[in-house]
Amino acid sequence: MQIYYSKKHKGHSFGLPNSGPADVDLYYENPGRVDSILKALRSTKWAEILPPHNLGLEPILQVHTVRYLDYLKDAYKNWMDYSDQANIAYVPYKPGFEPGTVKFDKIPDQDGFFMTDMYVPFNMQTYAAAISSAQCALSAAQTLVTQKQTTFALCRPPGHHSGPEVCGGFCYLNNAAIAAQWLSRLGKVAILDIDYHAGNGTQAIFYERPDVLTISLHADPAWEYPSFAGYAHETGSGRGKGYHQNYPLPHRTADELYQKTLALSLQLIDKFSPDFLLVSAGFDTFLGDPLGDFEISRSGFSMVGRMISDMHLPTVLVLEGGYKIDELGANVATLLIPFILDVVN
């Protein structure tokens, strides 16, 4: 399996003052996540780890706006006009406002428009890391088309909370949505989000479109992030009505209920009959993850991988969450193995 990975993610790291080197930081979404995954994948005989191709900004601008990319590119530099603390994370925040009521010429005003929460710190390398993460997803999609094989995009930072003009929840650019948009030129696409948190950004991007089916299994937003989206009654609008489905799940959801719900999701995908499948692969559903309370086991990830691979669809898997770092690499490999076996068989 070809796996796309960029070293640029390492620059997106936030050590707290006096906490030690930047790569030993106290932030959940940190470079150690990728280190854990690479260690597990490099111990296999089937993982071919490759740098991403550069498909440019145009595919990204099919999902995100120019002014939003300009915001991401310049946010840290602009913030430095307000602070002399150059070596700490920029964690922007300002309460939101109605579009059109302010000019986008100062960073506090921009923060209030382009952010949904405070879980999106910036440093001078965040923008480059986000761009390279999107290129990993695009490269995986390109390989899917040219070589007709399942691929995995080892994306960091993750993406599924990012909408057309918003960042939030550790996400800056919506990697899975960018890859799905690129593939949608060639046929119908389904996106299956199995992260613990609702894929609100992906939902927003495709909410009015009938050519991209979006499905998300996640903790109920009535009590879990992102709170404002991910409810069962949200099923698309306009031409996209009926082409989005949320499955909010209760506290402490374990393997049996999760797999039953996944089976319902796969039935919808089968009925939609897509040409391509994108999987937003989050691993924060794992038992003991610090940012979730689901109880999915290691064997549960194996079954999830088998159920999805049994669809026999051209598939791109894109990394989202997963914060139990010492277990993350093994969980990722466990989910991917059924796709390898599907090829062998």
| Adjacent-strand bridge partners of 246 | 216
DSSP assignment of 23-62 equals TS-S-SS-THHHHHHHHHHHTSSS-EEEPPP---SHHHHT
From the candidates 9, 64, 160, 161, give the one annotated as an active-site residue: 161
The pLDDT value given to residue 25: 44
Average pLDDT estimate for 189-203: 98
The answer to whether 140 and 169 are in contact (CB under 8 A) is no
Instruction: Identify whether 218 is a catalytic site residue.
Output: no
Q: For the segment 239-254, what is each residue's pLDDT rounded down to a tens digit?
A: 999 999 999 999 999 9
DSSP 238: G
For residue 97, pLDDT over 60 is answered with: no
The answer to whether 195 and 321 are in contact (CB under 8 A) is yes
pTM, entire model: 0.94
The pLDDT value given to residue 93: 57
The pLDDT value given to residue 10: 96
For residue 117, pLDDT over 50 is answered with: yes
Report domain extents, the chain: 2-344
pLDDT band at residue 79 using 50, 70 and 90 as cut-offs? confident
| CATH of region 2-344 | 3.40.800.20
Query: pLDDT > 70: what percent of the chain?
Result: 87
In this structure, is the dihedral angle defined by the CA atoms of residues 263, 268, 273 and 276, taken in order, positive or negative? Answer: negative
Q: For the segment 299-344, what is each residue's pLDDT rounded down to a tens digit?
A: 999 999 999 999 999 999 999 999 999 999 999 999 999 999 876 5
Mean pLDDT of the chain: 91
DSSP3 helix / strand / coil % (the chain, rounded to 5): 40, 15, 45
CA neighbor of 29 nearest in space, from 197, 224, 269:
197
DSSP 212: E
For residue 262, pLDDT over 90 is answered with: yes
